[in-house]
C-alpha cells in the first residue's frame, strides 16, 4: 500500500485519451520516477537516489522516449499543435532522438495568446477530454495585457510535487520537524502556491506555512510575528523581500530564525547573497530557485554553487539566437558559450503540452553534465544562474546590461537597503538613471554620491559621469507585490 498522499489512478480503458493519460501516471510511479513511500527516513540524503543519480546513458534514453511520446501525443490529441506544426512543415516522424528537439518549430506566448483569444479560456492547445479533469489552473502575470493559462491534471501535479520534493529534501533539508514558510505569490492563479509547493512539503513530512508574499506589506507586523513565533527554518521568497525582512528585523532588535533561504522570482547577485547572510545571521544556505508558472524548474545545488540543476526526466532545454524563430520556425541555435533565448519542452505535461516553448529567459548556452561533487547528481546543470529575461536587457552607451549586474553594484554601496529601480527611458541610453534607497539624509553628502557612482560605474564598465542616482528614502522604491520592480520602463510603447 502506498503511504502519504498517494494518488489513486482509476482503471480506464487505455484506448481513450484519459485512460492512456492515467496509465502513464501509473507507469511513472511503478518505474520509480515518482517516489511513493514518503516521507523517507530522516537519514536519507537524496529524495530519489535512483532517478537523481541515474546513469547518463539511461537519462538520454528516457529523454528520447519521452520526447517522441509527447510529440506524438500532441499531434494526435491537440488541434492546436496539428495546425501549428503543419503550417510550419513539421511532422512527428522527424524526431528520432532527443537531440532532434531543435527541429520542432518554436512556440511563443504570442501564438498561445492568439489561440486563447479565439478559443477562451484555454485555446485549442488543451487536450479536450483531459480538460474536463483539470485539478488546478495556473496563469502567467499577464504583464503584457493577456495572461496565458496552464491546466494541471493529476499526473502533472503528481510529478511536479515529486520534482519539488527532490530539491526541498536534498538541498534545503526540508524533513519531518522542519518548519517551511512559503512566501511566494498565493493568488492570481500562481502555480507555485499551496496546491503544488505545500503538497510537496507534506510529502517531505514538514510543517508548511503558506504565507503569501503579496500580502506581506499589507500585514507585515502579523507576518513578522509569525516568523518569530513559529521559528521558521526554511524561508522561500524573492531575494528583495528576504533582504527587506532581515533589515527590518535588525531595526526591531531581533534576529530571524531562518537556516535556509530559498531565492525565487529573480536571480540574486553574488553581493546580494552576501548581504542576505549578514542580515540573517542564522542562515547556513542560500539557494537560488528558478522556475516558471508553466512548471519548469532549475535549482542551485549546494555542492555546485553558481549552477542550476534541472531534472532531465521532465524537461529539455535548448537555446537560440533571440527572435531568430521569426525568420525560420525552429530558430537559429546559439553558439557554444554564447547567451541566447531559452526554449523549453515539458516531457510529462499531457493535459496542456508545452513543446519547444519560448520562455524568454536569457542564458548562456553551456551545460555541465558531470555529477555534482558531493551528492553525485547526474542531471545536467546550467553553467550559470539565469540572469533575467531577454526583455530586461537594456543599453547604456551601447553597452548591453542586466538588472542583476546593477544590483551587484548597489549592494556594495554603504548605508543602502539594497532596494533600487532602474529607469529605462530609451533603447540606447546615454546615462544609467537609477533610484536607490539610502539611510543617509536626502540629499546625501556629495562625496557619498560620488563614491556610489564610482562603485556602479566600475561594476558596469562605465564612467561615473554616465551614472545618475536619484536618492530615495527606505520604503520609497517601487514594488510589485512581493517583487522589487527593478525595471521601470518609460519608453514609448
* 73 and 61 co-located in one domain: yes
Pairwise CA distance, residues 210 & 194, whole Å:
7
Task: Establish if 2 belongs to a structural domain.
Answer: no
CA nearest neighbour of 467 among 439, 437, 430: 430
* 263 and 400 co-located in one domain: no
* 296 and 445 co-located in one domain: no
* 160 and 274 co-located in one domain: yes
Which of 368, 390, 412 corresponds to the end of one domain?
Answer: 390
* 49 and 136 co-located in one domain: yes
Which of 358, 375, 390 corresponds to the end of one domain?
Answer: 390
CA nearest neighbour of 486 among 287, 231, 269: 269
Task: Establish if 173 belongs to a structural domain.
Answer: yes
* 53 and 187 co-located in one domain: yes
Task: Establish if 284 belongs to a structural domain.
Answer: yes
Distance between the two ends of the chain, CA-based, in angstroms? 58
Give the count of domains, the chain.
2
User: 287-303 b/e with 16+ CB inside 10 Å = b?
Assistant: bbbbbbbbbbbbbbbbe
Task: Establish if 1 belongs to a structural domain.
Answer: no
Which of 327, 357, 390 corresponds to the end of one domain?
Answer: 390
* 114 and 245 co-located in one domain: yes
**pLDDT for res 195:** 64
Tens-digit pLDDT profile for the chain (493 aa)?
Answer: 333 333 434 444 567 999 999 999 999 999 999 999 999 999 999 999 999 999 999 999 999 999 999 999 999 999 999 999 999 999 999 999 999 999 999 999 889 888 988 888 778 999 999 988 988 887 766 554 567 778 889 999 999 999 999 999 999 999 999 999 999 877 766 656 666 777 888 899 999 988 888 889 989 999 999 999 999 999 999 999 999 999 999 999 999 999 999 999 888 888 899 999 999 999 999 999 998 888 899 999 999 999 999 999 999 999 999 999 999 999 999 999 999 999 999 999 999 999 999 998 999 999 999 999 999 999 999 999 998 888 778 899 999 888 889 999 999 999 999 999 999 999 889 999 999 999 999 999 999 999 999 999 999 999 999 999 999 999 999 998 888 998 898 887 6
The burial class, CB within 10 Å (0-12 / 13-18 / 19+), for 46 is middle
Pairwise CA distance, residues 52 & 101, whole Å:
23
* 44 and 140 co-located in one domain: yes
Pairwise CA distance, residues 282 & 442, whole Å:
33
Pairwise CA distance, residues 60 & 40, whole Å:
27
Whether the CB-CB separation of 404 and 269 falls below 8 Å is answered with: yes
Torsion angle, CA of 159/163/168/174, rounded to 10 degrees? 30
Pairwise CA distance, residues 187 & 174, whole Å:
24
**Dihedral (CA of 137, 18, 1, 171) sign:** negative
Task: Establish if 3 belongs to a structural domain.
Answer: no
Pairwise CA distance, residues 234 & 260, whole Å:
5
Expressed as residue numbers, the domain containing 50 is 12-390
* 158 and 277 co-located in one domain: yes
Amino acid at each position: 500500500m502506498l503511504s502519504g498522499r498517494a494518488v489513486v489512478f482509476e482503471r480506464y480503458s487505455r484506448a481513450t485519451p484519459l485512460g492512456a493519460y492515467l496509465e502513464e501516471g501509473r507507469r511513472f510511479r511503478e518505474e520509480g520516477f515518482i517516489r511513493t513511500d514518503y516521507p523517507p527516513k530522516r537519514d536519507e540524503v537524496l529524495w530519489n537516489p535512483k532517478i537523481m543519480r541515474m546513469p547518463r546513458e539511461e537519462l538520454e534514453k528516457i529523454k528520447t522516449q519521452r520526447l517522441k511520446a509527447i510529440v506524438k501525443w500532441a499531434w494526435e490529441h491537440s488541434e492546436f499543435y496539428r495546425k501549428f506544426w503543419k503550417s510550419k512543415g513539421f511532422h512527428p516522424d522527424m524526431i528520432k532522438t532527443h537531440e532532434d528537439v531543435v527541429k520542432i518549430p518554436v512556440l511563443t506566448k504570442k501564438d498561445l495568446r492568439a489561440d486563447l483569444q479565439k478559443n477562451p479560456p484555454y485555446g485549442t492547445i488543451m487536450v479536450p477530454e483531459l480538460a474536463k479533469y483539470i485539478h488546478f489552473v495556473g496563469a502567467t502575470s499577464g504583464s503584457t495585457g493577456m495572461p496565458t493559462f496552464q491546466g494541471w491534471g493529476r499526473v502533472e501535479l503528481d510529478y511536479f510535487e515529486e520534482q519539488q520534493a527532490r530539491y526541498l529534501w536534498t538541498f534545503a533539508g526540508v524533513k519531518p520537524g522542519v518548519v517551511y514558510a512559503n512566501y511566494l505569490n498565493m493568488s492570481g492563479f500562481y502555480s507555485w502556491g499551496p496546491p503544488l509547493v505545500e503538497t510537496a512539503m507534506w510529502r517531505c513530512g514538514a510543517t508548511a506555512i503558506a504565507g503569501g508574499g503579496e500580502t506581506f506589506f499589507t500585514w507585515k507586523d502579523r507576518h513578522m510575528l509569525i516568523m518569530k513565533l513559529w521559528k521558521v527554518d526554511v524561508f522561500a521568497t524573492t531575494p528583495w523581500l528576504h533582504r527587506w525582512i532581515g533589515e527590518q528585523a535588525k531595526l526591531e532588535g531581533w534576529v530571524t530564525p531562518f537556516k535556509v533561504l530559498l531565492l525565487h522570482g529573480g536571480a540574486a547577485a553574488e553581493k546580494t547573497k552576501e548581504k542576505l547572510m549578514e542580515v540573517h545571521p542564522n542562515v547556513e544556505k542560500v539557494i537560488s530557485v528558478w522556475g516558471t508558472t508553466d512548471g519548469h524548474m532549475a535549482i542551485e545545488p549546494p555542492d555546485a554553487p553558481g549552477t542550476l540543476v534541472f531534472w532531465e526526466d521532465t524537461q529539455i532545454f535548448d537555446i537560440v539566437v533571440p527572435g531568430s524563430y521569426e525568420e525560420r520556425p525552429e530558430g537559429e541555435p546559439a553558439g557554444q558559450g554564447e547567451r541566447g533565448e531559452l526554449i523549453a519542452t515539458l516531457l510529462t505535461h499531457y493535459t496542456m503540452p508545452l513543446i519547444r516553448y519560448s520562455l524568454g529567459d536569457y542564458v548562456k548556452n553551456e551545460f555541465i553534465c558531470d555529477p555534482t561533487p558531493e551528492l553525485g547528481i547526474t542531471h545536467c546543470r546550467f553553467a550559470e544562474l539565469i540572469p533575467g529575461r531577454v526583455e530586461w536587457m537594456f543599453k547604456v552607451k551601447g553597452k548591453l546590461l542586466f538588472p542583476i549586474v546593477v544590483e551587484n553594484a548597489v549592494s556594495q554601496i554603504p548605508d543602502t537597503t539594497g532596494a533600487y529601480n532602474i529607469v529605462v527611458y530609451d533603447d540606447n541610453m546615454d546615462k544609467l538613471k537609477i533610484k536607490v534607497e539610502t539611510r543617509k539624509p536626502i540629499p546625501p553628502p556629495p562625496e557619498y554620491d560620488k563614491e556610489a557612482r564610482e562603485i556602479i560605474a566600475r561594476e558596469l564598465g562605465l564612467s561615473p559621469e554616465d551614472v545618475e542616482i536619484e536618492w530615495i528614502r527606505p520604503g520609497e522604491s517601487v514594488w510589485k507585490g512581493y517583487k522589487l520592480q527593478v525595471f521601470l520602463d518609460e519608453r514609448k510603447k
